């Protein structure tokens, strides 16, 4: 059964159609690669799923629950996590503090709890810190865990974004160009992290222009163009299609 | 024994009201110099401690506290209703006399044993001008235009009630906002009501403009106001439009007393202009004289000049004859009563019209 | 001595006001300058409750805080949805609107002000006791805010200030955080209002206008935004400086403007010398010292 | 009460008086947009402009036009000092926006005290007389001040529009407003552009003050109140939208003047603020025009082969 | 010739670049590669003047570049496309291009629009609402509008689809040939870049570990492993 189901999703900005009757399923244990030329509507699709942009029509369900009209944070609470193409880290926090906000545990978020259950909150903090350190370890960022995020390189910032999304033990994870600007050596590392996550039952969707990366990572690919899903199949199949190749790689 | 006698002076020296406060303090200062030149309090100098209140209660509280605790004054002079009320508990608690000069809110009389006013309350001159308009000038339909703040509202009510009682009818009763820079709306409403006299209760800052706009809109009936607009500048600014404007004064004018004339001449000579709010400065000029009179009496008897003694002695003397404002008598309700002088702009000059309640 | 006491009390009250304002405007990044109106609400509510003997004064002060807390929600819930600069104007509208309203309500003294507010503690234990009370409460406020902002909740506020969208995407409710913090800050201001009312015993609506806002804001910013002790230093310096200037013995004819000139001039000098505030906040949010926050 | 003559008189006069509000609001909005400063020191600049004109006309007895120039010079000087010795320094030292805001607040107080010290506190006007003769136009009293004021404002607005739209530095201002650091990468000198925008605001404000001061009395602290109105207009007009601020200033001006016809006078102040509050709650983004997205279209298409394949 | 000698630069106490010496011939195409954090961005930012070097010399044809004065450097003919946040988000695409070129002589707009047809299509769109890749194209176009003699690019292919990467690389080669613009490009996408550049420099922890022609790099098997 699909974790995330998108049916007949439509959205346009003026004359620009970014989602044209999109139907898409994200399955547990799977990594779906989303490719397509610039401006195809990939980021917009993520924005629609997350509630950043309201759709013109269509429905999105997560684990069978409709997400219509839910605000962003409610969707995240249901088990949706994403990274941003434009980073969106918290510049006034250090790397580890950026991650510490990630866990999908909101029981201590109410101000009243700060007064009433201090020990509980302290315990939560410890757990979150352990988890953050574990994830930083796995993504190779542990050495810079206390640096301000503004002082680390672009490539590292990208990884912090991915790591922050990993903190949320989400049902469905959306990665928007996680590798853009990241050095080649890190590819294997991230691929392993993402694959492990998929194996643990998470549905993952990755947007990437680095086809080699997508090919190694994804079970299946989707090709988008001008807001439409043009094709779905294994990444090799997509690349083999001469029409898609022309659109995406040029001739 | 005392080597000098101190009293406090807490006035707005900055902020929106400083226009008046500064000139009033200057007047008081001249008076203190005068008194000291004439020998002070039996040869001992009279000292005035000046503090800024910004006409703000909180600042006023601090200034007055400072004068009482640090400078140990037995009596202090202050003005502006907010400050006068805010510092009243301090005066009462410390048994220090508070002399209000120019706060015209009627509940002054209920502020406690140590709070007195040397200035007639607001209703005195408003009542006089309303009564005079209805009775002597024979006006039947009045319009009231006032600034929408506490004093404006209070005075407007007094005018309306008095004018009605005197047999007139108030055909328009309009307020404008404190921040307004244009007065067409209320003026048009007044024009539509077709009054034969208009009473304007505003601040110096905008009153000339209100009159100018009234005349521009073709309203030619006489306009009365209170002492705020009684100054030479109004005539300069408005020219012919100032004709038929009537103001009040709670103190004798230049024509009534040679001392006042000397006083105004001194302003023109030393400062280059007439004081802002002439009558108020006259009262302030006279306050040190009042204080000095009490101190002198205490000094003669060899009584320590504490607030308590000051109050007792002041009430014992009861009536004071002061240089610029004439006789003043403290009434049972802590207030004083005075005659009201009416002045009118005629041929480009302020001319005396009448004295009410002499 | 009254002079000294009233200065100490005002310093204490301004420490409370400035610290709680810093919580709202600095730590939470909510640009509202209406803080004094919650101070006013606390003051008026407490004064009225005590004046009419509805409850004992300490309870009345607390109720003032509670009413301020609730009132803040009136501004926060609708206005925070749009956040940023719009909160600013909504808050100004709320502040000046309430002040206008208060001027028209006779029962609370109208524009002329509310007099004869019962005093508290002073009669039985002397003024010193009130000074102690205010200063102790000021200390508690500072420590409380320090504790709150250095804990996990402080981290949430920092993140929300930086990027609300990314913050929501982590499943956290930005509006709720803002409303809560705004409420807490306003509630504290409300209690301070009660303390003011029962010492100075006179309240006037115009006291709580934009002048007061800018005074408190200056304390926070000149002292140092987002620092525990910055607002304290700001309150101390900006409260004491004008008092010291009154001892300069300036000639009365130029006294007012000159005092103002010296005061604002000195503040400008401070601002140039320390453009991050007298105490500068660390570049990034740092919680409690790491050794403490570990096991 | 609601006859045509009254309503049109009110509309006309409030339209004329909104001229200076428009200027103050536009200047404020410009500095907010380009320099990213809530410049409360504008009150100080306004005061300087006014008193410079006052000195020229009343004390030196120059003609009105020279007075206007003097006013502009005064405001320019103040703006220059403010930017060169104030904002530029603080910017370089990386002061936070809130800090700069407080700085402007203190500067404006400082200037007002300094002016008080020199000129005293008595309110005054630029010309000795503040009475402007009126002509009746179809029953409406049009004062000799109204038409020149409206004309001057229009001229300023058009000049500003042309400047921002067609001149190089106007374009640079937009760029610096958007991303000042990036602008430097295209050879744009940030400091110069920011200075120009401050100076332009100075000129605009001086003209506004000249208009205001020839009709109403001004004293050292008066500018603050006038400026607060500009702030409200700027925010209502949508921050970053200079023309929105101008429109908001006119609307606010007219609302304030004509509300007397509908609202009991005692409640005017209160209702104005209530209006402000609810305007924000109901129109949270200011009175903003909808974005012009409709013109956009994709012209690059997928090859037909693909589209048919998908459908088939 | 753009020459960098004994350059040291960093942020506060952190020293990022250590003793960098590079001579860049006019009209050359040079690629800089290296790990995340190697100091590539810092190097470009020092040249353009956004980072003030702690020591060392930056000269162009013997003249010192104005340290720390970005506009002056740019006006001399050096353009820089930073990584991310590199367009004016609230202005239209066309305005972005016009403003970028305003200080640099007659319009060059049509050439740029030809290179990136999407920009032509979106002339009136708000730049901030464009997709990541579209913004990257716009930023490149803006840099070209300044008709630079040297073009410094910080990871220009980030977020671009392969077809566009190809276009960009072709376009850059074209610019280099037609106008003689020197190109200094920092890239992670080594294969694509190697088709463009004739010389490659590899940075490691702020120091140059390799500087040679493209063929030399291809020959060095050990360095290849490294990527
Ligand atoms: N708010 C908006 N207004 C107008 N057009 C928009 C808006 N947001 C996105 N677009 C347009 O919609 C199209 C799809 O954008 P989107 O960001 O989803 O592309 P993408 O597939 O993620 O591309 P890339 O790979 O370059 O990141 C783009 O052409 C973009 O210009
Ligand atoms: N503003 C800054 N303040 C402090 N340190 C910084 C700053 N910018 C970069 N650094 C540090 O300088 C070093 C080099 O950074 P630089 O951005 O030059 O690397 P890079 O080679 O461009 O990496 P990437 O490929 O990830 O963009 C890094 O260790 C980084 O943490
Ligand atoms: Mg995208
Ligand atoms: Mg880099």
In SS3 terms, A185-241 reads as CHHHHHHHHHHHHHHCCCEEEEECCCHHHHHHHCCEEEEEECCEEEEEECHHHHHHC
Distance CA E41, CA E32 (A): 10
What does the pLDDT read at residue C290?
45
Distance from CA of A231 to the nearest CA of D (A): 7
Any CB–CB contact under 8 A between E120 and chain A? no
Q: Please, what is the average pLDDT of chain C?
A: 88
Q: If phi over 0 gives left and psi between -120 and 50 gives alpha, with beta otherwise, what is residue E147? A: left
Nearest to E162 among A13, A151, A211 (CB): A211
Chain A's closest residue to D303, CA to CA, is: A243
* Number of domain units in chain C: 1
E51-78 average pLDDT score: 89
Nearest to D310 among A13, A17, A230 (CB): A230
E36 lines ligand 2 (CB under 6 A): yes
E159 lines ligand 1 (CB under 6 A): yes
Of A188-192, D191-195, D212-216, the least confident: A188-192
SS (H, E, C) D80-144: HHHHHHHHHHHHHCCCCHHHHHHHHHHHHHHHHHHHHHHHCCCCECCCCCCCCCEEEECCEEEEC
Q: Domain for residue E149, yes or no?
A: yes
- CB burial readout B328-337, b (16+ within 10 A) else e: bebeeebbbe
A119 lines ligand 1 (CB under 6 A): no
Q: Which residues fall within 8 angstroms of residue D140, CB to CB, at 6 or more apart?
A: D5, D8, D9, D12
The residues of chain B scoring below 70 in pLDDT are 1, 103-106, 358
Would you state the structure tokens that stand for residue C71, as one six-digit string? 């009132």
* Residue C182 burial by Cβ neighbours in a 10 Å radius (0-12, 13-18, 19+): buried
Domain that holds residue E150: 31-38+70-221
Distance CA A227, CA A17 (A): 6
C-alpha radius of gyration, chain E, whole number: 17
Q: Which residues fall within 8 angstroms of residue C9, CB to CB, at 6 or more apart?
A: C130, C131, C134, C195, C199
Could you report the per-residue pLDDT of D215-225, keeping only the tens digit for each?
998 988 888 88
What does the pLDDT read at residue B144?
94
Report angle CA C41, C42, C45 to the nearest 5 degrees: 80
* Residue D257 burial by Cβ neighbours in a 10 Å radius (0-12, 13-18, 19+): buried
Q: Please, what is the average pLDDT of chain D?
A: 86
E186 falls in which pLDDT band (50, 70, 90)?
very high
Chain D's closest residue to B239, CA to CA, is: D129
**Number of neighbours of residue A221 by Cβ within 10 angstroms:** 25
What does the pLDDT read at residue B280?
85
* Residue B301 burial by Cβ neighbours in a 10 Å radius (0-12, 13-18, 19+): exposed
C132 falls in which pLDDT band (50, 70, 90)?
very high
What does the pLDDT read at residue C77?
77
Could you tell me where the DSSP H helices lie in chain A? 42-50, 72-79, 95-100, 111-116, 118-138, 154-167, 186-199, 211-217, 235-240, 242-249
Q: Domain for residue C253, yes or no?
A: no
Q: Domain for residue E203, yes or no?
A: yes
Would you state the structure tokens that stand for residue A212, as one six-digit string? 């080699």
Q: Domain for residue C281, yes or no?
A: no
Give the ipTM: 0.88
What DSSP string describes chain C? -HHHHHHHHHHHHHHHHHHHHIIIIIIS------HHHHHHHHHHHHHHHHHTTSS-HHHHHHHHHHHHHHHHHHHHHHHTTT-THHHHHHHHHHHHHHHHHHHH-GGGTGGG-B--PPP-SHHHH-HHHHHHHHHHHHHHHHHHHHHHHHSHHHHHHHHHHH-HHHHHHTT--HHHHHHHHHHHHHHHHHHHHHHHHHHH--B-GGGGSHHHHHHHHHHHHHH-TT-SSHHHHHHHHHHHHHHHHGGG---GGGHHHHHHHHHHHHHHHHHHH-TT-SSPPPSS---S-HHHH--
Chain A's closest residue to C162, CA to CA, is: A90
What are chain C's partners, defined as 3 or more CB pairs within 8 angstroms? Answer: A, B, D
Give the number of whichever ligand sits closest to the CA of residue E161. Answer: 1
E127 lines ligand 1 (CB under 6 A): no
**Helix (H) / strand (E) containing E80:** strand E78-81
Could you report the per-residue pLDDT of C52-98, keeping only the tens digit for each?
999 999 999 999 999 999 999 888 877 676 656 677 777 888 898 89
Q: Against a cut of 0.95, is the pTM above it?
A: no
Could you report the per-residue pLDDT of D37-88, keeping only the tens digit for each?
999 999 999 999 999 999 999 999 999 999 999 999 999 999 999 999 999 9
What does the pLDDT read at residue A120?
87
* B151 neighbourhood in chain D, CB within 8 Å: none
Phi, psi of A222 (to 5 degrees): -130, 135
Any CB–CB contact under 8 A between D136 and chain E? no
**Number of neighbours of residue E89 by Cβ within 10 angstroms:** 15
* Number of domain units in chain D: 1
List Cα–Cα distances, B204 to A1, A213, B220, in angstroms.
80, 78, 21
Phi, psi of B249 (to 5 degrees): -145, 135
The residues of chain A scoring below 50 in pLDDT are none
List Cα–Cα distances, A87 to A98, A150, A161, A175, C124, in angstroms.
12, 11, 6, 11, 62
What does the pLDDT read at residue D287?
53
* E155 neighbourhood in chain A, CB within 8 Å: 154, 181
Give the number of whichever ligand sits closest to the CA of residue A184. Answer: 2
Asked if the Cβ–Cβ distance from C163 to A93 is below 8 Å, we say no
Give the number of whichever ligand sits closest to the CA of residue A35. Answer: 1
Q: Which of A151, A155, A158 to mutate to test the pocket of ligand 2 (most atoms within 8 A of CB)?
A: A151
Chains C, E in contact, 3 or more Cβ pairs below 8 Å: no
C-alpha B300, offset from chain centre? 32
Which residue from B247, B14, B238 is spatially nearest to B128, judged by alpha carbons? B247
* Sign of the CA dihedral with C235 first, then C240, C246, and C249 last: negative
* E113 neighbourhood in chain D, CB within 8 Å: none
- CATH architecture for the domain at A4-79+170-249: 3-Layer(aba) Sandwich (3.40)
What are chain D's partners, defined as 3 or more CB pairs within 8 angstroms? Answer: A, B, C, E
E160 lines ligand 2 (CB under 6 A): no
Q: Which residues fall within 8 angstroms of residue B110, CB to CB, at 6 or more apart?
A: none
Q: Which of E12, E17, E41, E51 to mutate to test the pocket of ligand 2 (most atoms within 8 A of CB)?
A: E41
Would you state the structure tokens that stand for residue E59, as one six-digit string? 């000269």
- Reading across the β-sheet that carries E63-64, which strands appear in turn? E14-24, E2-11, E55-60, E63-64
Q: Which of A145, A153, A184 to mutate to test the pocket of ligand 2 (most atoms within 8 A of CB)?
A: A153
List Cα–Cα distances, B348 to B232, B278, B351, D129, E49, in angstroms.
10, 19, 9, 13, 70
Asked if the Cβ–Cβ distance from C259 to B85 is below 8 Å, we say no
User: Pairing relation of β-strands A31-35 and D134-137?
Assistant: unpaired
Residue B253 vs residue C130, higher pLDDT: C130
Domain that holds residue C154: 2-209
Hunting for tokens 């082969």 — which residue is that? D305
Could you report the per-residue pLDDT of B47-102, keeping only the tens digit for each?
999 998 888 888 898 889 889 888 899 999 998 888 888 898 889 888 999 998 87
* E137 neighbourhood in chain A, CB within 8 Å: 38
Q: Domain for residue E48, yes or no?
A: no
D10-37 average pLDDT score: 92
**Residue A224's beta-bridge partner residues?**
A229
D266-291 average pLDDT score: 66
- CB burial readout D37-58, b (16+ within 10 A) else e: bbbbbbbbbbbbbbbbbbbbbb
D310 falls in which pLDDT band (50, 70, 90)?
very low
What does the pLDDT read at residue B358?
60
Give the number of whichever ligand sits closest to the CA of residue E45. Answer: 2
What does the pLDDT read at residue C293?
41
* C150 neighbourhood in chain A, CB within 8 Å: none
Mutate to test the interface with C, among B62, B67, B81, B104 (most CBs of C within 10 A): B62
What are chain E's partners, defined as 3 or more CB pairs within 8 angstroms? Answer: A, D
Distance CA B151, CA B135 (A): 25
Q: Indicate if the pLDDT at residue D30 is higher than 90.
A: yes
Would you state the structure tokens that stand for residue C40, as one six-digit string? 């006013």
Residue E100: which CATH number?
3.40.50.300
Any CB–CB contact under 8 A between D301 and chain E? no
Distance CA D25, CA D227 (A): 8
What does the pLDDT read at residue C292?
43
């Amino acid at each position: 059964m699909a974790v995330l189901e998108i049916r007949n999703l439509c959205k346009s900005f003026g004359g620009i159609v970014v989602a044209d009757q999109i139907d898409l399923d994200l399955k547990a244990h799977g990594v779906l690669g989303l490719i397509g030329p610039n401006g195809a509507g990939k980021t917009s699709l993520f924005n629609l799923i997350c509630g950043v942009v309201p759709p013109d029509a269509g429905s999105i369900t997560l684990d069978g629950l409709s997400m219509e009209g839910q605000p962003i944070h409610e969707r995240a609470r249901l088990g949706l996590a994403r990274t941003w193409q434009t980073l969106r880290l918290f510049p006034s926090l250090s790397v580890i503090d950026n991650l510490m906000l990630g866990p999908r545990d909101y029981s201590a978020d109410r101000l009243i709890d700060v007064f009433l259950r201090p020990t509980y909150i302290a315990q939560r903090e410890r757990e979150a810190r352990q988890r953050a350190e574990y994830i930083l370890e796995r993504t190779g960022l542990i050495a810079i865990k206390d640096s301000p995020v503004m002082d680390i390189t672009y490539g590292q910032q990208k990884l912090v974004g991915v790591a922050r999304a990993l903190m949320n033990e989400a049902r469905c994870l959306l990665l928007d160009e996680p590798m853009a600007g990241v050095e080649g050596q890190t590819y294997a590392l991230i691929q392993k992290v993402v694959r492990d996550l998929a194996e643990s039952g998470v549905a993952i969707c990755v947007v990437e222009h680095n086809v080699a990366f997508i090919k190694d990572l994804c079970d299946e690919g989707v090709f988008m163009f001008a807001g439409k899903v043009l094709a779905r199949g294994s990444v090799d199949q997509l690349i083999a299609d001469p029409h898609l190749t022309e659109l995406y790689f040029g001739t | 024994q005392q080597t000098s006698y101190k009293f406090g002076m807490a006035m707005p020296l900055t902020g929106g009201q400083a226009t008046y406060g500064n000139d009033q303090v200057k007047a008081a200062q001249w008076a203190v110099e005068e008194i000291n030149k004439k020998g002070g309090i039996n040869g001992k100098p009279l000292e005035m401690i000046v503090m800024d209140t910004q006409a703000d209660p909180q600042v006023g509280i601090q200034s007055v506290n400072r004068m009482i605790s640090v400078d140990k004054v037995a009596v202090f002079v202050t003005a502006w209703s907010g400050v006068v009320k805010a510092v009243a508990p301090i005066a009462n608690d410390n048994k220090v006399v508070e002399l209000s000069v120019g706060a015209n809110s009627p509940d002054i009389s209920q502020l406690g044993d140590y709070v007195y006013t040397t200035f007639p309350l607001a209703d005195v001159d408003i009542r006089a001008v309303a009564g005079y308009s209805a009775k002597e000038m024979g006006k039947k339909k009045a319009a009231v235009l006032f600034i929408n703040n506490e004093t404006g509202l209070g005075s407007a009510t007094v005018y309306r009630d008095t004018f009605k009682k005197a047999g007139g009818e108030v055909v328009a009763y309009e307020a404008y906002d404190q921040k307004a820079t244009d007065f067409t709306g209320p003026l048009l409403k007044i024009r539509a009501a077709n009054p034969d006299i208009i009473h304007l209760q505003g601040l110096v800052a905008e009153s000339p403009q209100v009159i100018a706009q009234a005349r521009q809109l073709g309203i030619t009936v006489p306009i009365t106001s209170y002492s705020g607009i009684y100054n030479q500048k109004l005539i300069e600014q408005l020219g012919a439009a100032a004709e038929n404007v009537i103001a009040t004064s709670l103190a004798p004018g230049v024509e009534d007393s040679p001392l006042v004339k000397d006083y105004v001449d001194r302003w023109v000579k030393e400062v280059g202009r007439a004081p802002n709010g002439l009558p108020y400065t006259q009262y302030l000029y006279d306050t040190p004289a009042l204080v000095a009179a009490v101190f002198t009496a205490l000094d003669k008897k060899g009584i320590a000049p504490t607030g308590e003694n000051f109050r007792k002695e002041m009430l014992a003397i009861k009536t004071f004859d002061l240089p610029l404002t004439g006789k003043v008598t403290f009434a049972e309700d802590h207030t004083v009563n005075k005659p009201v002088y009416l002045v009118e702009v005629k041929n480009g000059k302020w001319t005396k019209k009448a004295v009410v309640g002499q | 001595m009254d002079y000294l006491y009233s200065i100490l009390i005002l310093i204490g009250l301004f420490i409370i006001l400035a610290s709680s304002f810093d919580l709202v405007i600095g730590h939470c990044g909510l640009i509202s300058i209406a803080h004094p109106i919650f101070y006013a609400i606390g003051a008026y509510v407490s004064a009225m409750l005590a004046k009419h003997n509805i409850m004992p004064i300490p309870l009345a002060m607390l109720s003032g805080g509670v009413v301020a807390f609730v009132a803040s929600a009136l501004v926060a819930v609708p206005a925070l949805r749009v956040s940023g600069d719009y909160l600013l104007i909504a808050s100004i509208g709320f502040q000046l609107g309430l002040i206008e309203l208060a001027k028209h309500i006779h029962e609370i003294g109208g524009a002329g002000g509310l007099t004869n507010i019962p005093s508290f503690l002073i009669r039985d234990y002397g003024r010193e006791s009130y000074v102690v009370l205010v200063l102790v409460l000021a200390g508690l406020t500072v420590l409380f805010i320090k504790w709150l902002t250095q804990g996990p909740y402080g981290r949430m506020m920092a993140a929300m200030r930086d990027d609300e969208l990314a913050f929501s995407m982590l499943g956290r409710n930005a509006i709720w955080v803002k409303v809560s913090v705004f409420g807490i800050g306003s509630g504290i201001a409300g209690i301070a209002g009660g303390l003011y009312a029962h010492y100075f015993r006179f309240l006037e609506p115009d006291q709580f206008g934009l002048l007061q806002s800018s005074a408190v804001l200056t304390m926070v910013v000149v002292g140092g935004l987002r620092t525990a002790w910055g607002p304290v230093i700001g309150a101390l310096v900006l409260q004491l400086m004008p008092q010291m200037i009154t001892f300069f013995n300036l000639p009365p004819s130029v006294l007012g403007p000159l005092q103002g000139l010296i005061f604002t001039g000195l503040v400008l000098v401070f601002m140039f010398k320390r453009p991050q505030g007298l105490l500068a906040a660390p570049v990034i949010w740092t919680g409690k010292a790491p050794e403490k926050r570990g096991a | 009460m609601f006859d045509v003559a009254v309503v049109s008189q009110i509309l006309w006069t409030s339209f004329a008086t909104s001229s200076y509000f428009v200027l103050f609001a536009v200047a404020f909005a410009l500095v907010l947009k380009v320099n990213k400063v809530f410049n409360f020191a504008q009150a100080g600049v306004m005061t300087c402009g006014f008193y410079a004109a006052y000195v020229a006309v009343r004390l030196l007895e120059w003609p009105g036009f020279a007075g206007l120039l003097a006013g502009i010079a005064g405001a320019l000087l103040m703006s220059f000092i403010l930017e060169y010795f104030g904002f530029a320094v603080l910017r370089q030292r990386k002061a936070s926006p809130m800090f700069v805001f407080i700085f402007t607040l203190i500067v404006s107080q400082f200037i007002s005290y300094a002016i008080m010290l020199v000129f005293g506190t008595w309110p005054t006007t630029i010309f000795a007389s503040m009475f402007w003769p009126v002509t009746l136009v179809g029953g409406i009293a049009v004062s000799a001040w109204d038409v020149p004021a409206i004309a001057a404002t229009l001229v300023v607005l058009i000049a500003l529009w042309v400047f921002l739209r067609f001149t190089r530095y106007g374009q640079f201002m937009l760029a610096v407003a958007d991303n000042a650091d990036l602008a430097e990468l295209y050879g744009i000198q940030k400091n110069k552009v920011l200075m120009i925008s401050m100076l332009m605001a100075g000129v605009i404000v001086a003209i506004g003050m000249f208009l205001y001061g020839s009709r109403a009395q001004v004293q050292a602290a008066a500018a603050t109140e006038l400026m607060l109105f500009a702030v409200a207009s700027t925010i209502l007009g949508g921050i970053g939208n200079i023309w929105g601020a101008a429109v908001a200033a006119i609307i606010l001006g007219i609302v304030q003047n004509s509300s007397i016809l509908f609202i009991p006078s005692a409640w005017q102040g209160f209702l104005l603020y209530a209006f402000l509050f609810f305007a924000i709650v109901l129109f949270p983004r200011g009175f903003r025009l909808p974005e012009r997205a409709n013109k956009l279209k994709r012209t690059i298409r997928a090859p037909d082969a693909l589209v048919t394949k998908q459908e088939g | 010739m753009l020459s960098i000698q004994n350059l040291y630069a960093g942020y506060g106490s952190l020293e990022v670049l250590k003793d960098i010496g590079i001579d860049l011939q006019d009209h050359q195409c040079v690629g800089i590669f290296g790990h995340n954090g190697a100091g590539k961005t810092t190097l470009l930012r020092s040249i353009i003047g956004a980072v003030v070097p702690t020591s060392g010399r930056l000269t162009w044809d013997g003249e010192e570049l104005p340290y720390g004065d970005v506009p002056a450097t740019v006006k001399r003919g050096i353009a820089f496309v930073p990584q991310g946040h590199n367009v004016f988000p609230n202005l239209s695409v066309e305005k972005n291009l016009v403003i970028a070129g305003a200080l640099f002589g007659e319009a060059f707009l049509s050439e740029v629009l030809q290179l990136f047809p999407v920009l032509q299509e979106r002339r009136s769109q708000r730049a901030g609402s464009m997709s990541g890749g579209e913004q990257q194209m716009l930023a490149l176009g803006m840099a070209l509008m300044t008709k630079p003699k040297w073009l410094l690019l910080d990871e220009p292919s980030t977020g671009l689809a392969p077809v566009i990467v190809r276009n960009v690389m072709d376009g850059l080669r074209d610019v280099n040939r037609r106008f003689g613009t020197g190109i200094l490009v920092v890239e992670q996408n080594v294969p694509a870049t190697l088709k463009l550049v004739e010389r490659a420099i590899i940075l490691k922890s702020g120091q140059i570990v390799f500087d040679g022609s493209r063929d030399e790099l291809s020959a060095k098997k050990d360095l290849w492993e490294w990527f």
